[in-house]
Chains A and B, each alone.
Chain A
Amino acid sequence: MYRYDEFDQDFVTDRVAQFRDQVARRVSGELTEDQFKPLRLMNGVYLQLHAYMLRIAVPYGTLDSRQMRKLAHVARRYDRGYGHFTTRQNLQFNWPKLSDIPDILAELASVEMHAIQTSGNCIRNVTADHFAGAAADEVADPRPYAEILRQWSSLHPEFVFLPRKFKVAVTGAERDRAAIQVHDIGLHLKKDENGRLGFAVYIGGGQGRTPMIAKKIRDFLPEEDLLSYSEAILRVYNLNGRRDNKYKARIKILVHETGADEISRQVEEEWERIRHGALKLPQGEVERIREYFAAPAGLEAAAPSSDLAAARKADPEFDAWVRQNTIPHRVAGHVSATISLKPIGGTPGDATADQMDVVADLAERYAFDEIRVSHEQNLILPHVAEDNLRAVYDGLVAAGLATANAGLVTDIIACPGLDYCALANARSIPVAQRISQRFGDIARQREIGELKIKISGCINACGHHHVGHIGILGVEKKGEEFYQISLGGSGDENSAIGDIIGRGFSTDEIVDAVETIVDTYIARRAAPDETFLAAYRRLGQAPFKEALYGTA
């Protein structure tokens, strides 16, 4: 588990004191909004549709029970009893008073948390595979590198005023669960033919109004060069990225306009200048940080649990949850369990304070005190002994957190949309809720199989609609909400931007349209194990277009 070192503790404490003074001066009228806005944004404070919003960093999505309980406490004491887990593995509170935020940040600092670099044109919270350190298919844990990047990028004076925000994601497995190809920098941790660790480096991916799949500019970057190479990329971007137009300021536009080969050449040139300098990672330091992420004490191989087998046989609902919401662990006799924050008809990613406390208790008692936030807006218990699964499940059932839908059609990503967001053009949450209700029957969901629906309420694409198998984009048309559907997107190791299928649908039509697409897939799939995405890639748009619009 990551912990603050003395530098972190000092700078977070100093930052809280500094922001407390800034808020006091703002509330007393000494600072104007123009003066205050850049200061609040540096501390994760937005002004949203209804109120201020505080975005709290969860580095690489990793939490312990103490931190989760603190979030529950903040939700109860300072907000409206709930929080929203986001597609960037962060947590947002929707209703904090400005004058309370310094106290909230002080409370967070007491459990090694903060809101630094969760907004603004800087390097944002580094994200990672939510099964990091646990997944059976992992080459190595990506989080030590995410942490090294976090340390390097925190308050980095050269990169505090980039042309635009900058997002880095790291995966340690071939199967990409961190969507690295739609990030500004995507790092795929792997081994070369000599067994040395390093990274395939992707740059220039992103969603928003101009979606792009990242370009691979290096197939293997040795581990020790991680920071110097990242700094070279950032320097090329910082120098050449456009500052004249906010909508063309992300590195994806620079890569697209300059060409990946030329950008790669510039990065390599800059890297040559600095690669042997202070940023070369000392092996001892990598090992030291890797120690933070060592497997928890007591996580040792165990025989398959006979109790689990018996419990599954006796209870079909428990069996279904185990089948759908757990994945193999690299240590025998254990699994990683997904706690779905997608109850049928619920708000994707929301958890109440009581639910956060339940998750904290279960993690502490049964799961080596580790919790993850996934970019799919669920929570994860990465290390659970098979013998403890039943107890975990019972705890989740009691808290309304045992929906057995991980990866299924009701496991929908949705941004806050027009219900909360000042930028949105249309609502996302009610559409997600209605689709969830339509497909609520669990037998039907299982028959449909893996299907990722992702909904954004505006072109900024916080709901990742471009990479949804079915993507839904809300727009405003003549004062009404309209929803545009795209098909065939994917945010995994074979990332693709979805194709817009045709004219949009009204609020009344959108759920029927989604059902038509799903029914068409079921009717046309080659076999029950051909996934929606595979079927779409084989069939193309035509049958779906015909089903939706009556024309081929």
Chain B
Amino acid sequence: MSDSIITANDLGNGLVVFLKADGGWSQRLADARVVGPDALPEAVAYGKAQHDARIVVEPYDIEVTVENGVPVPVRLRERIRAAGPTVAYGEAEIAERAALSKAG
């Protein structure tokens, strides 16, 4: 049976957050509460209530597998959303290209 977690965006800073076991929200995917199919409706309802309470924005559930105790989203979109852009940006991008050209 597939596992899920609940994700949303923080209302104030917009960053991606995950529902924890204690009912709070964390920016760390590893903190996410993994729920099975039976517990999913309750978790989704809790997320919606948190949206209605103006704590988070646009919560939804995503499918995950658990690897080494850490949830890993099944869809690429959700993996990127959880981990951040797959490309370096800003000064880090410039540094990365500089390192590459030195190595090359």
A, B assembled together: yes
Q: Which residues of A contact B (CB under 8 A)?
A: 26-27, 29-33, 47, 49-52, 80-82, 94-99, 343-347, 350, 352, 354, 400, 418-420, 424-425, 427, 429-430, 433, 476, 479-481
Q: What residues of A have a CB within 8 angstroms of the CB of B81 in the complex?
A: 49-50
B14, B81, B86, most chain A CB atoms within 10 A: B14
Report Cα–Cα, A196/B97, bound state, in Å. 52
B57 partner residues in chain A, CB cutoff 8 A: 33, 47
Interface string of B78-91 (1 = CB under 8 A from A): 00110011110111
The verdict on B15 contacting chain A, using a C-beta distance below 8 Å, is yes
Closest to B57 in A: A33
Q: How distant is the Cα of A516 from the Cα of B12 in the complex, in angstroms?
A: 48
Question: Among residues 1 to 32 in chain B, which have CB atoms less than 8 Å away from a CB atom of chain A?
Answer: 9, 11-16
Q: Is A82 a contact of B14 with CB atoms below 8 Å?
A: no
Asked whether B87 lies within 8 Å of A429 as measured between CB atoms, the reply is yes
Residues of A within 8 A of B80 (CB): 49, 418-419, 427
Closest to A79 in B: B90
Interface residues on B, range: 20 to 34
CB neighbours (8 Å) of A95 from chain B are: 14
Tell me, yes or no, whether B94 is within 8 Å of chain A by CB: yes
Q: Does A352 contact B90, Cβ atoms closer than 8 Å?
A: yes
Return chain B residues, CB-CB under 8 Å to A354.
Answer: 91
Given contacts A418-B76, A418-B80, contact A98 B12 (CB under 8 A): yes
Q: Which residues on the A side are within 8 Å of B89 (C-beta)? A: 80, 82, 94, 347, 350
Q: A49-B80, A419-B85, A419-B86 are in contact. Are A346 and B11 (CB under 8 A)?
A: no
A343 partner, pick from B16, B90, B91, B97, beta carbons under 8 A: B97
Whether the Cβ atoms of B16 and A50 lie closer than 8 Å is yes
Is B42 at the interface (CB under 8 A from chain A)? no
Stretch at the interface among B33-41, B46-54, B64-72: B46-54
B12: which of A27, A433, A481 is its contact (CB, 8 Å)? A27
| Chain A hits for B103, CB < 8 A | none
**Chain B: CB-nearest residue to A97:** B13
**Contact at B87–A347, with CB atoms within 8 Å?**
yes
User: Are A51's CB and B9's CB within 8 A?
Assistant: yes
Judged by a CB distance under 8 angstroms, whether B102 is at the interface is no
- Nearest B residue to A428 via CB reads B87
Contacts of B54 in A (CB 8 A): 26, 29-33
Cα distance A343–B54 in the bound complex, in angstroms:
42
Contact check, B90 vs A81: say whether CB atoms are below 8 A apart. yes
- A433/B14 in contact, CB under 8 A: no
Question: When the two chains form the complex, which single residue of B14, B76, B90, B97 contacts A98, counting CB atoms closer than 8 Å?
Answer: B14
When A82-B90, A419-B80 are in contact, do A98 and B85 touch as well, CB less than 8 Å? no
With A27-B12, A49-B80, A98-B12 in contact, do A32 and B91 touch (Cβ < 8 Å)?
A: no
User: For residue A52, which residues in chain B have a CB less than 8 angstroms away from its CB?
Assistant: 13-14
Residue pair A345, B94 in contact (C-beta under 8 Å): no
Contact A418 B94 (CB under 8 A): no
Does B93 contact A350, Cβ atoms closer than 8 Å?
Answer: yes
**Which listed residue, B15, B52, B77, B86, touches A51 by the CB 8 Å rule?**
B15
Contacts of B11 in A (CB 8 A): 26-27, 98
Contact of B53 among A29, A346, A347, A424 (CB under 8 A): A29
In the complex, A240→B34 CA distance in Å?
Answer: 49
> Which residue of A is nearest B98, CB measured?
A400
Partner of B93, one of A51, A346, A424, A480: A346
Contact status A97-B14, CB under 8 Å: yes
Residue of A nearest to B9 (CB): A47
B76 near A481: Cβ-Cβ < 8 Å? yes
**Given the contacts A50-B15, A52-B14, A98-B14, A33 and B90 also touching, CB distance less than 8 Å:** no
Contact A33 B86 (CB under 8 A): no
Assembled-state Cα–Cα distance A168/B89 (Å):
31
Question: CB < 8 Å: which of A33, A50, A97, A419 contacts B58?
Answer: A33
Instruction: Report how far A424 CA is from B90 CA in the complex, Å.
Output: 21
Q: How far is the CA of A31 from the CA of B53 in the complex (A)?
A: 10
A92 CB, min distance to chain B CBs, angstroms? 12
State in angstroms the CA–CA spacing of A344 and B101 once bound together. Answer: 10
18 A-B pairs, CB-CB below 8 angstroms? A31-B54, A47-B9, A47-B57, A47-B58, A49-B77, A81-B91, A82-B91, A99-B12, A344-B97, A345-B97, A347-B87, A347-B89, A352-B90, A400-B94, A418-B76, A429-B85, A429-B87, A476-B76
- Chain A residues with Cβ below 8 Å from B53 are 29
Q: Which residues of B contact A350 (CB under 8 A)?
A: 89-90, 93
Q: Which residue of A lies closest to B52 (CB)?
A: A32
With both chains docked as a complex, state the minimum distance between the C-beta of A10 and any C-beta of chain B, in angstroms.
30
Cα-based distance from A331 to B40 in the complex (angstroms): 69
Measured CB to CB, the closest approach of chain A to B100, in angstroms, equals: 7
